[in-house]
């Protein structure tokens, strides 16, 4: 090992100590139950749930530990108590790739090709037989700081189409990014330069306005390292978008996770639970042990042969874990993440055929100034209910701050449009913060992703990782990552 890496490990071990970590005495016997399984999966979102179902199909026993009171992570559906109309406020679209059809078919959840049906004409009422996400609105742009209208300067259609064609060519040089972070050595400079500079270099800026709209949650997309941008709106989007994106047939993507939950089984799912201590190295049984705090039933000890970690691997999230020097060295490199929140508000009183997008007159490409709402969009299928997404370039805002900031921006829009000023009622509000963990460009250049990837199979083939930090913020690509990379590694003989 190089002296430099040793010093990095030493520094991070010291950092861990300064966080005051001490492994809670896992041997004190104060838990109500010991649960023995082949695999403990930490995080019951897109990657954790898909992995659980896949491992069960490979005759493994599993237990899933999830902090929320539902499975699905970024997938969450609001159900109107009166009409039972549903609105997905998180994950909406799935790419048309085989792993998507396999997963939905297996759980008998119907999909709809979004390009195969006729939506309402923009400005006309919603077609109530179609998912809310397909309510077609008139787009208007305004600066949510003062309500002023913004006319975006957009590329000509032909120039944009040409840029997307050439973008696909350039992205195909990096097609390995579709399968994880297995990068060449040395890491190509393109991948750690700012995405704005990358687009300039290849004369692709005409594609930016559309990429920005799709890449919500990525913060200041012009400044992020190109590798993250390429993995989010990715080569498969460019290849397959002409086949149409898919969504659950009735606008209820959570159905996938409800069915998956039933498949995994209640006795194998610990909701409202978190790991408070880990002992993976020194157990008398030779198995890995996780002490889990559950809301309903106190402490439980999980004893397993392998662990699959799918939660954002920040040092805060892994408090109480007996991190190895290698894990510490890698996870302490995250310097920032974005803030990303989503929700539905009622009682806004604006024109329900218009979706207002936040833009700015004097920023590059008219991108909005964050932190702010990305948009205020009527859902169409429930009267005067609006979908909001709120974004920040860092994860520091509290949920209460975001709500009050969003309410102020809604009021600004009501004033600007001479509407009655009302206090919106929150029907549902979800935080997905920290979203999109990032390391510095220099760290990418120095082999961060090689070190991240090398963690797979650690502790003698017992420790594995999936989820957005190990691939990308895209459910479909995470399912394929599980299928092609992570699960085969977990199943390989040690």
Ligand X SMILES: Cc1cc2nc3c(=O)[nH]c(=O)nc-3n(C[C@H](O)[C@H](O)[C@H](O)COP(=O)(O)OP(=O)(O)OC[C@H]3O[C@@H](n4cnc5c(N)ncnc54)[C@H](O)[C@@H]3O)c2cc1C
- What does the binding site for ligand X look like in residue numbers (CB under 6 A)? 42-48, 65-68, 73-74, 90-94, 217, 274, 310-311, 317, 340, 342, 389, 432, 467-468, 473-476, 478
Looking at the DSSP bridge assignments, the partners of residue 390 are 341, 373
Q: Which of 250, 213, 226, 107 is nearest to 177 (CA)?
A: 226
In the complex with ligand X, which residue's Cβ is closer, 1 or 296? 296
CB of 263 to ligand X, least distance (A): 17
Side-chain half-sphere CA neighbours of 356 within 13 A: 25
In the complex with ligand X, which residue's Cβ is closer, 217 or 371? 217
In the complex with ligand X, which residue's Cβ is closer, 66 or 451? 66
Looking at the DSSP bridge assignments, the partners of residue 140 are 356
Let me know: does 111 contact 287? Beta carbons within 8 Å: no
In the complex with ligand X, which residue's Cβ is closer, 269 or 446? 269
CB of 7 to ligand X, least distance (A): 29
In the complex with ligand X, which residue's Cβ is closer, 252 or 473? 473
CB of 207 to ligand X, least distance (A): 19
In the complex with ligand X, which residue's Cβ is closer, 60 or 67? 67
Distance of CA 248 to the CA centre of its chain: 18
Phi-psi sector, 384: left (phi>0), alpha (psi -120 to 50), beta: left
CB of 307 to ligand X, least distance (A): 13
CB of 415 to ligand X, least distance (A): 27
DSSP state of 393: S
Task: Give the helix ranges, DSSP H, for 438-486.
Answer: 441-445, 448-454, 458-461, 475-481
Q: Is the peptide bond before 434 cis (omega within 30 degrees of 0)?
A: yes
Q: What is the largest CA-CA distance in the chain?
A: 70
CB of 44 to ligand X, least distance (A): 5
CB of 278 to ligand X, least distance (A): 12
In the complex with ligand X, which residue's Cβ is closer, 11 or 214? 214
Burial class, 7, CB count within 10 angstroms (exposed 0-12 / middle 13-18 / buried 19+): exposed
d(CA 431, CA 416): 28
Q: Which of 234, 226, 229, 212 is nearest to 441 (CA)?
A: 226
Let me know: does 412 contact 142? Beta carbons within 8 Å: no
d(CA 111, CA 186): 42
Looking at the DSSP bridge assignments, the partners of residue 78 are 87
CB of 152 to ligand X, least distance (A): 22
Let me know: does 15 contact 328? Beta carbons within 8 Å: yes
Residue nearest ligand X, Cβ-based: 45
Q: Which of 276, 308, 280, 305 is nearest to 291 (CA)?
A: 276
In the complex with ligand X, which residue's Cβ is closer, 8 or 229? 229
**Beta-strand relationship, 463-465 and 372-378:** unpaired
Task: Give the helix ranges, DSSP H, for 271-418.
Answer: 325-331, 399-416
In the complex with ligand X, which residue's Cβ is closer, 275 or 444? 275
In the complex with ligand X, which residue's Cβ is closer, 96 or 380? 96
CB of 174 to ligand X, least distance (A): 19
CB of 326 to ligand X, least distance (A): 20
Structure tokens at 23: 């492994």
């Amino acid at each position: 090992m190089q002296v430099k890496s040793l010093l990095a490990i030493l520094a991070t071990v010291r950092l861990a100590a300064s966080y005051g970590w001490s492994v809670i005495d896992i041997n004190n016997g104060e838990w109500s139950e010991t649960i023995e399984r082949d695999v403990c999966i930490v995080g019951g979102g897109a990657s954790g749930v898909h992995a659980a179902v896949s491992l069960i199909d490979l005759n493994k026993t599993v237990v899933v530990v999830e902090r929320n009171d539902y499975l699905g992570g970024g997938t969450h559906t609001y159900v109107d108590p009166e009409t039972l109309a549903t609105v997905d406020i998180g994950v909406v679209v799935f790419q048309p790739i085989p792993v998507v059809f396999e997963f939905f078919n297996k759980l008998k959840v119907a999909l709809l090709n979004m390009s195969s049906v006729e939506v309402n004409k923009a400005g006309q009422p919603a077609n109530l037989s179609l998912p809310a996400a397909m309510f077609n609105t008139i787009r208007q742009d305004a600066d949510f700081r003062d309500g002023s209208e913004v006319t975006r300067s957009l590329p000509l259609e032909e120039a944009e189409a040409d840029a997307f064609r050439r973008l696909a060519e350039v992205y195909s040089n990096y097609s390995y990014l579709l399968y994880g972070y297995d990068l060449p050595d040395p890491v190509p400079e393109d991948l750690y330069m700012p995405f704005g500079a990358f687009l300039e270099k290849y004369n692709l800026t005409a594609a930016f306005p559309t990429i920005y709209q799709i890449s919500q949650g990525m913060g200041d997309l012009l400044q992020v390292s190109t590798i993250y941008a390429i993995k989010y709106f990715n080569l498969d989007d460019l290849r397959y978008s002409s086949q149409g994106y898919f969504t659950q047939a009735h606008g209820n993507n959570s159905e996938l996770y409800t069915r998956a939950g039933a498949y995994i089984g209640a006795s194998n799912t610990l909701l409202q639970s978190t790991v408070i201590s880990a002992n993976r190295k020194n157990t008398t049984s030779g198995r890995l042990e996780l002490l889990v705090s559950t809301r309903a039933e106190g402490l439980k000890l999980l004893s397993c042969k392998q662990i699959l970690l799918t939660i954002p691997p920040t040092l805060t999230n892994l408090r109480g874990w007996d991190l190895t020097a290698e894990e510490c060295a890698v996870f302490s490199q995250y310097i920032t993440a974005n803030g990303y929140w989503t929700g539905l508000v009622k009682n806004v009183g604006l024109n329900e055929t218009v979706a207002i997008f936040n833009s700015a007159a004097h920023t590059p490409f008219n991108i909005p100034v964050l932190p702010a709402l990305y948009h205020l969009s009527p859902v169409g299928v429930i009267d005067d209910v609006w979908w909001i997404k709120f974004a920040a370039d860092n994860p520091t805002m509290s949920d209460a701050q975001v709500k009050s900031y969003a309410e102020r921006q809604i009021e600004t829009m009501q004033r600007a449009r001479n509407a009655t000023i009302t206090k919106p009622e929150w029907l549902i509000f979800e935080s997905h913060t920290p979203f999109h963990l990032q390391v510095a460009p220099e760290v990418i250049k120095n082999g961060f992703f090689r070190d991240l990837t090398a963690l797979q199979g650690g502790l003698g083939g017992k420790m594995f990782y999936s989820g957005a930090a190990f691939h990308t913020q895209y459910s479909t690509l995470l399912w394929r990552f599980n299928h092609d990379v992570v699960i085969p590694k977990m199943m390989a003989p040690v």
